[in-house]
Amino acid sequence: MRITVLDDDPGERIIPGRERITVYLDGAEVKCCLTADDVKGEVVDIERDYSGRMLAVNGEVQRRTRYGKVRIVRCPR
């Protein structure tokens, strides 16, 4: 399954305020996840600096792609 919050991504579109989903990569929770694919083992999230702040270049948030064992959990509201 592939979930995403991005408009131009082919995955299932998730609206963050409507659904609660937690994504894990190699057993660790991923914060600020934009796209997760448990078949490919791919997570796209927001890159952060050493103090935890989001990185932006020319006004655009930097994304990073990581690979591993992905688990997507839908949480009840």
Please tell me the predicted confidence (pLDDT) of residue 68: 97
pTM of the model: 0.86
Tens of pLDDT along 14-67? 988 888 899 999 999 998 899 999 999 999 999 999 998 999 999 899 999 999
DSSP string, 18-32: T-EEEEEETTEEPSS
d(Cα 58, Cα 10) in Å, to the nearest integer? 26
